[in-house]
């Protein structure tokens, strides 16, 4: 699990709190606006403005988080045959693998395959709202 994924998991736990706080601030702002209208007291108007600014700040940060793109990485090794030059990518990478190590037999000619390179591929995904709230795993487990 990469650092981006760990940070995303920590932040994901706070999404319901931000939604409840945002809804509460909007209700409070509406209350202050109505109080300012019916009592003609300007203090309520300034309170409503402050709560709207706070709600806007939380809403902006929440929208930024919901548009987050997570990078997941897959480690791949490139195997090449010494005799015929056949090459393929293998996702089964061990900690003991290193470049120029003999690893396996060529499916075409039967020669020895060597590791030409080890690298990782980045896969960017945008999570759905169900994944953000952690409901997708619960729904899957319920039907198994």
Phi, psi (5° rounding) for residue 89?
Answer: -100, 135
Question: Residue 26 has what pLDDT?
Answer: 95
The answer on pLDDT for 137 being more than 60 is no
Q: What is the pLDDT of residues 22-61, one digit of tens each?
A: 999 999 999 999 999 999 999 999 999 999 999 999 999 8
pTM of the model: 0.55
Please give the Cα distance from 100 to 113 (Å, whole number).
Answer: 9
> What is the domain partition of the chain in residue ranges?
3-70, 71-124
User: Six-digit token pair at 106?
Assistant: 């060529």
In the chain, % of residues over pLDDT 90: 32
Q: Crossing angle for the helix pair 15-39 and 42-66, nearest 10 degrees?
A: 160
């Amino acid at each position: 699990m990469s650092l981006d994924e760990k940070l995303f998991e920590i932040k994901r736990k706070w999404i319901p709190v931000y939604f409840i706080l945002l809804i509460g601030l909007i209700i409070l702002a509406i209350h202050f606006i109505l109080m300012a209208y019916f009592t003609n007291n300007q203090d309520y108007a300034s309170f409503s403005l402050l709560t709207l600014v706070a709600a806007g700040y939380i809403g902006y940060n929440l929208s930024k988080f919901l548009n987050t793109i997570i990078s997941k990485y897959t480690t791949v090794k490139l195997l090449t045959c010494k005799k015929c030059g056949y090459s393929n990518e293998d996702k089964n990478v061990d900690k003991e693998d290193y470049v120029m190590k003999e690893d396996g037999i060529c499916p075409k000619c039967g020669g020895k395959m060597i590791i030409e390179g080890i690298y990782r591929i980045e896969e960017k995904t945008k999570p759905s709202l169900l994944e953000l709230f952690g409901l997708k795993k619960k729904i899957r487990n319920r039907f198994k």
